[in-house]
Structure 1
């Protein structure tokens, strides 16, 4: 009988234990996740594919697959409280309609089964501490991602985001497609018909040389694959996309088997997997409709391709031609080759400089850039030649071929190879010490994972570095040159030719097309179009009801923590010099910065501050030739950069130069080198100085051609300190460089004298502050070694200059070759007697969430925003619009919105919660090693962590009445009537009565 009892009891015990384990797994309590996945293998419908430690991400990566749906998921488990979540939908274009881009917009804006509201991502952000809820269309996938320090917050966002992805309302609401792709619009019979939509406006505004070049390169090299298409869409093709095409593509692509999910940080993975399984993935099966198969791998060419594209400029200048020489390098799954080639590109920097000199000496081009583009399945190595002519392409190719042939025959310098590999190893150490930017890592993981490769190929770089290092003696890098450049037929020459008035011709063509369309409509059709336009605009401006918003999960004030990570700082003094010591444990790496104030530099000589930053470390000194200097600065990372710091007591900005030094360990000769460069640089090499001036000028010219430079240009015209910024980073500095180049030879002695004088004034012990990061022993070594630098640097006292700066208040229209516009309008509330109140940041948040979309809609723009800053600046910004008059009107009507603003206590609580991260800016304080620069900035600005914390506490009791009370302040700023519009000639001329002056922006 006893034996029988035992036989009955044992199974019961086993059943009880098994049930208890299942309960623990299901509830996420009491059992280690790694143990559960390794012993049981499945969890909430997911099976474990792999588990491995990823030291670069400070944790363990567990790869899952959902058994029923085929959904793929990686959980990177560690102790990081910055939780991250992303879903990446594999999405290869089959044409230029931007179909995946339009779907991304509709998914983000359109609501879903369980959240049937407009703009669900915007609404969840209002109820969140997250600053980074992102939807983005990449070359071959669409990413939806978010991060938050609050665990409950990331679960809320995850729930909403997955619902809009898998159960989107884009299949039900036709106005969503109309608003995002765009439709023909007509406000009255007297007006012109326009085509307007967010995606259409966004892509119409991408008038960027680099974008044109990348598009042309892809078309030249990958004519039979998905990469020949523009994934974002080309405006004229976007117009022909149909809603039926969009819906069919959404249904075929937005399913778990085509999605790659990444979850990161300290969270309850059991809860997450259960949520995903029960609410989303269980509704899908692997045998869903298959996605249209499209090629991603281009067969190698038998001979190189010659490809020509055009872009628009304002004035005739044949030298604005760009030539690129492009070579396909293996494929993205061949990680060792790709990493090796990236290292090779760095090793070749000196050789490319020599090639650049030869081309310049022979009148074939002004500057060369090289890069390895690893977007897409087949990476491309590109040699880009600026300011040349189409007739030069064959001769330049000869120079390139000869240069690489010589490198191959002569072999590469083994010391330079080893130095470069050692640099890459140091970078690997930095990854462990610096913050983990998961959106970047998300993209790195997707590069290989989406194409069937190991997700962590490009995160585990160190093992490839060791493998490559062993092959150096066998000619590893020379063989890369031979295979992928010298013998490679899968290559192209792309010519981007400038054509005067091309953009204007395209605008005129579109205008005629729209005019013809309007003339083809009957009176009845015109009335129908006017009605449709009105209905759509009403729908776009309609706000969600309180009942609809109740669906969105939210945080409460009790959920948030007003905290910032302390940055340890000790203010010390060494030999009459202030030292900011940050006692952070950093093994094998020493970080320090020398900060120099520029208040002793005359206002009209400020440009020399930036020029010195570009020159120092590249010229000879009293002790070293320029070649030796370059070799030394390769051993010790050396960066000199101008930085602005806001002075909290005066609302002014002060310019300092930060000289940043990095090394494996504190060494006396590093400080001796720094002192030598700062104090004893010789400014006598005419050729080198002129080359640097010309190259810097060209880099600015290239930045002017970037599609969004118009926004920067307008901002610097309006912001009170805009001219100060422009003298270092903008058009004023460019004009300074241009003037130096034009009269260089006859004025060289003056230039040389100015460089000497400003160098002595800036790099001076009397205006130097030193910042050091390291442990106690490293600081002791630093304190002993730094005295040589302090003693050897200039000690002369100079009088302080009064840097009064004020931007030109003339309302300007600035014409650049594009078919959209940027508006910046703003002013300074301190001029009307107001002082900064932290509750203004709640106002900023409310306006960005609730009103700026009205400005964007009225102005036919991609987006609009407002910033209210501690320095007194209030800036309205409209991005890539089509109707200046309506946008300006909507900006001026913002005070009506503020005056009428009403919100319940619960609604105000949401606005307050989402304002807190705007003040704490925790993302800027995450890095374990570089965050000390933020501590330095706080020291110079006299604004510390306690001040940010106090601001957050002050906003906690913000009421809707507080918001209404700011209406008069905003009205006063708008009445200052300070604005700038940068855009296409048609937009500016049609609104010429608004401008005091209209100018053409000279991009050269």
Structure 2
């Protein structure tokens, strides 16, 4: 029998690759093969295992040499057509027509990655083909309009006289990104820590510098960096390796090796000698509440993986929760509203960042001294080793679950490049962890972590301290000054030239791809989709002491427990207290344990301990069910703790620990305010839905803008109302956590459930016997009205939503899923992103009735709403060719069939149960997608017209954009 490794070595040799090393990697349940393509110098890593959600990525070393964001603009631009696939948006065409489970591109501080994933072999090869041609043979050399669209260009305003303006997708994206104080703080700290290396620059680009990038420099940068000998290819999963290696060699790597190149070296990363850089101030136009500061400590370099794993664990143990000792010291000193900390890994010189938010007087001056005093105490014998052991256990759980939100192959690719980019022999170090965890456990009792505290915080000679100072107006607005100077020096014919250029750009943007160009794209046909993937069933089991929704999903020894408590007995006005309750449980003392002890127990024994409220809408009508959810997960040996710890927190939390309570309220306020400015599209969509949808109105009360206002009121009147608040929270908890009204959702082994229920019995009698269904309080939603609001937040862009009730135009059909793809990647992408300059846009329509248009990091408002409303007439004329429409069908089905991690699949099945969406109905929706025709899509245009005309609009964003709107919003200064 021929060994698999020998076969792979043979395949590699035939395709011009040489296998440099092969190793078993237990952490991925497979074997890693590292290769080099002899002719081109391209490096390749194959992570072979049985995962059918396979992936490919190609990464280039791209250290920034300035703040122009050239690599970010290149990341966008190379996906705008290539020699082999000369269409305007092959990236969008792939989103439209492939079975991808992940498709994106990512700009990091020193690298650019192009990863894709799919469960279909041919689809993966198609995705690889488009990406390889995009990065090596992009149309950017032939079409300057791509640079202007994705990077920046001049435009003229509609005002008289016309004024110069900047526009461009990356330009607008970074205006939005750098409206976030956290982003600006990070950039400032990185520049202070690494003043002589690439990390002093914002790789995404600073708007004032983006507009200095010339087309010639843009092209020259691509030529120097997008080349095989500066590339790293990663394959993952159960792929046809012989076929892929042959494909890469024949189609790209060998032909590229024959291309003569000028000797142009890629930018260097550099190594920063130790520096101490303190008292760095940076002004930012934002609200006073966004004041923040940070300390950064360089934690060695990329090569010491065990030390970096230890540092990550240490930071979690000392600063990962309110009760962690370093964070508690900072909170007790009352210098700021919140403190967060993390290890910034994935760069050549990783560093620990400690940030304080919502600064109080003297905060920056005291920050360092508080940290040093506390670190000294910990390093001198005050470190509780149980804290470190708990963080180690929790880190191991996270790695075992490996639920990172992306396809596994993409996550592993990112991890691999955190070492491989800097050392050819470190391709696997960042996906190995078991040996390091075992080693650290041995070192724990020998002073290792005390020494690490000292090296990191006390004797470190490479650190910096920076502060963001909010200002109301930036008198030194570089962009505004550049525009004014440029226009002042310009003759009338110069303005006309700009107008002509914009007209040419618009013409290029609005032109359609030729049939010949479209025919070059690789596409799947419907026959290649395959049968419906088998999905584990779930059923209600009433034979247990708690009614149990049983799931049967393989989960690698992890058990999941969701307890759903109905909120029927809570009045509408009491819902904000439910929101507070979900924030506070697990973070305060109980009658048996301090908050610190609860935190320690949770980290050591559980994977998750979470509390939250949610609303499930019924698919057949306007009814809904609001639930308070208690979620725990654990390894099999700890399932009893999944019940006992959660039960103790639910039943015996002491809400009268006022200082800790106030800390959590302040932290939530800060987090919500930053969310308004960074994820305003979701905020606007939820708010607009609350104007007509009872379930959405309930959500607003415990997690939306209404809850935020309630939260601010509680903070402002905390001293006078704290006892009343604590008593009310205790009462609400008693009414929610009843013994007779809970549904348990469970996934795991029978023994896991038995252990959970046996541990629960110890607390069972302590649950309230209040019957929430017979309580005088009732969850009745008041009459709903369209408030037509626009919320001003500190941001340079806007986020706009138009939502409507799909049920008013008929019952749900799978056709709506196809329409969502057609509009998002067809009409809206062209109108709102390409022509309008917004970074993101989309349409979705759910089976429960919510239809929603959104824009993300958008320089416009009124124009965007008009474009939303223009979709109906576009749908009426929808006329794709057969291959394009088949692509929409394939991608829509793929969206339904995409594999989910056990926890996500379990939650989806729970949602189906509560909403009345049966597996049979889901299967029918899938059939309706497969049977959908172009005529079906066009037939929905009148329904879309009615939706748009009856829709509700809300916007969140920049003051000037909102004030200039002619849509007659009620303007609300949300944060001020």
So what's the TM-score if we normalise by structure 2? 0.93
Which one of 573, 577, 581 corresponds to residue 542 of structure 2?
Answer: 573
Partner of 2:281: 308
Partner of 1:766: 740
- The structural deviation recorded for 1:929 is 5.8
Which one of 52, 63, 68 corresponds to residue 92 of structure 1?
Answer: 63
- The structural deviation recorded for 1:178 is 1.6
- SS of aligned partner of 1:244: helix
Given that residues 215 and 230 in structure 1 are in contact (C-alpha distance below 8 angstroms), is that contact kept between their aligned partners in structure 2? yes
- The structural deviation recorded for 1:190 is 4.8
- The structural deviation recorded for 1:651 is 4.9
1:44-193 equivalences under 5 Å are 44-109=15-80, 111-186=81-156, 190-193=161-164
CA distance in 1, matches of 2:793, 2:763: 48
Given that residues 225 and 266 in structure 2 are in contact (C-alpha distance below 8 angstroms), is that contact kept between their aligned partners in structure 1? no
Partner of 1:246: 218
CA distance in 1, matches of 2:659, 2:583: 15
Given that residues 892 and 974 in structure 1 are in contact (C-alpha distance below 8 angstroms), is that contact kept between their aligned partners in structure 2? yes
Partner of 1:536: 505
CA distance in 2, matches of 1:361, 1:78: 49
- SS of aligned partner of 2:431: coil
Range with greater deviation from structure 2 (415-424 or 596-605): 415-424
Which one of 832, 835, 844 corresponds to residue 855 of structure 1?
Answer: 832
- The structural deviation recorded for 1:390 is 7.2
Partner of 1:825: 802
1:424-439 equivalences under 5 Å are 424-431=395-402, 437-439=408-410
Given that residues 872 and 941 in structure 2 are in contact (C-alpha distance below 8 angstroms), is that contact kept between their aligned partners in structure 1? yes
1:737-756 equivalences under 5 Å are 737-756=711-730
CA distance in 2, matches of 1:356, 1:553: 53
- The structural deviation recorded for 1:914 is 1.6
Q: What CA deviation, in whole Å up to 9, does each residue of 1:444-475 have, x standing for no partner? A: 11110111151221221110011122222321
Larger Rg: 1
Structure 1 unmatched ranges of 5 or more: 1-29
- The structural deviation recorded for 1:140 is 1.1
- The structural deviation recorded for 1:363 is 4.7
Given that residues 908 and 958 in structure 1 are in contact (C-alpha distance below 8 angstroms), is that contact kept between their aligned partners in structure 2? no
Given that residues 717 and 807 in structure 1 are in contact (C-alpha distance below 8 angstroms), is that contact kept between their aligned partners in structure 2? no
Partner of 1:663: 634
Given that residues 714 and 822 in structure 1 are in contact (C-alpha distance below 8 angstroms), is that contact kept between their aligned partners in structure 2? no
Which one of 870, 883, 897 corresponds to residue 847 of structure 2?
Answer: 870
Partner of 1:600: 569
1:473-872 equivalences under 5 Å are 473-502=445-474, 505=475, 510-511=479-480, 513-574=482-543, 577-584=546-553, 589-624=558-593, 626=595, 628-637=597-606, 638-664=609-635, 665=637, 668=640, 671-704=643-676, 706-709=677-680, 712-713=683-684, 715-718=686-689, 720=693, 721-799=695-773, 801-804=778-781, 808-831=785-808, 833-852=809-828, 853-872=830-849
Given that residues 356 and 366 in structure 1 are in contact (C-alpha distance below 8 angstroms), is that contact kept between their aligned partners in structure 2? no
Change (3 A) 1:636 1:160: same
1:278-427 equivalences under 5 Å are 278-285=250-257, 288=261, 289-301=263-275, 303-314=276-287, 317=288, 320-349=290-319, 353-356=324-327, 358-359=329-330, 362-389=333-360, 391-427=362-398
Q: What CA deviation, in whole Å up to 9, does each residue of 1:734-763 have, x standing for no partner? A: 222222222233333432332122112211
Q: What CA deviation, in whole Å up to 9, does each residue of 1:968-1000 have, x standing for no partner? A: 111112212521232322222222x31231222
- SS of aligned partner of 1:765: coil
CA distance in 2, matches of 1:247, 1:408: 52
Partner of 2:968: 995
Given that residues 613 and 641 in structure 1 are in contact (C-alpha distance below 8 angstroms), is that contact kept between their aligned partners in structure 2? yes
- The structural deviation recorded for 1:945 is 3.4
- The structural deviation recorded for 1:139 is 1.5
- The structural deviation recorded for 1:671 is 3.2
CA distance in 2, matches of 1:579, 1:963: 41
Given that residues 87 and 259 in structure 1 are in contact (C-alpha distance below 8 angstroms), is that contact kept between their aligned partners in structure 2? yes
- SS of aligned partner of 1:266: coil
- SS of aligned partner of 1:851: helix
- The structural deviation recorded for 1:40 is 8.1
Which one of 942, 949, 959 corresponds to residue 923 of structure 2?
Answer: 949
CA distance in 2, matches of 1:743, 1:371: 33
CA distance in 2, matches of 1:949, 1:812: 39
Partner of 2:186: 214
Partner of 2:201: 229
Range with greater deviation from structure 2 (176-185 or 153-162): 176-185
Partner of 1:968: 942
Which one of 862, 871, 881 corresponds to residue 894 of structure 1?
Answer: 871
Change (3 A) 1:718 1:583: closer
- SS of aligned partner of 1:766: coil
Given that residues 390 and 495 in structure 1 are in contact (C-alpha distance below 8 angstroms), is that contact kept between their aligned partners in structure 2? no
CA distance in 2, matches of 1:958, 1:952: 10
CA distance in 1, matches of 2:558, 2:908: 19
Range with greater deviation from structure 2 (218-227 or 466-475): 466-475
Change (3 A) 1:387 1:674: closer
CA distance in 2, matches of 1:746, 1:506: 43
Given that residues 37 and 43 in structure 1 are in contact (C-alpha distance below 8 angstroms), is that contact kept between their aligned partners in structure 2? no
- The structural deviation recorded for 1:126 is 2.5
CA distance in 2, matches of 1:948, 1:425: 36
Range with greater deviation from structure 2 (321-330 or 285-294): 285-294
- Number of residue pairs matched? 960
Range with greater deviation from structure 2 (162-171 or 953-962): 953-962
- SS of aligned partner of 1:465: helix
Change (3 A) 1:327 1:559: same
Given that residues 575 and 787 in structure 1 are in contact (C-alpha distance below 8 angstroms), is that contact kept between their aligned partners in structure 2? no
CA distance in 2, matches of 1:646, 1:621: 34
CA distance in 1, matches of 2:592, 2:682: 45
Given that residues 555 and 748 in structure 2 are in contact (C-alpha distance below 8 angstroms), is that contact kept between their aligned partners in structure 1? yes
- The structural deviation recorded for 1:362 is 4.9
Which one of 245, 249, 254 corresponds to residue 273 of structure 1?
Answer: 245
- SS of aligned partner of 1:699: helix
Given that residues 697 and 781 in structure 2 are in contact (C-alpha distance below 8 angstroms), is that contact kept between their aligned partners in structure 1? no
Given that residues 221 and 490 in structure 1 are in contact (C-alpha distance below 8 angstroms), is that contact kept between their aligned partners in structure 2? yes
Range with greater deviation from structure 2 (904-913 or 485-494): 904-913
CA distance in 2, matches of 1:352, 1:765: 30
Q: What CA deviation, in whole Å up to 9, does each residue of 1:3-26 have, x standing for no partner? A: xxxxxxxxxxxxxxxxxxxxxxxx
Partner of 1:15: none
- The structural deviation recorded for 1:544 is 0.9
Given that residues 140 and 219 in structure 2 are in contact (C-alpha distance below 8 angstroms), is that contact kept between their aligned partners in structure 1? yes
1:881 aligns with 2:858: yes
CA distance in 1, matches of 2:143, 2:597: 67
CA distance in 1, matches of 2:220, 2:203: 17
CA distance in 2, matches of 1:807, 1:329: 54
- The structural deviation recorded for 1:684 is 3.3
- The structural deviation recorded for 1:411 is 4.1
Change (3 A) 1:175 1:763: same
Q: What CA deviation, in whole Å up to 9, does each residue of 1:481-522 have, x standing for no partner? A: 1112100121011011111123xx566x64464355345433
Partner of 1:7: none
Structure 2 unmatched ranges of 5 or more: none
- SS of aligned partner of 2:84: coil
Partner of 2:173: 202
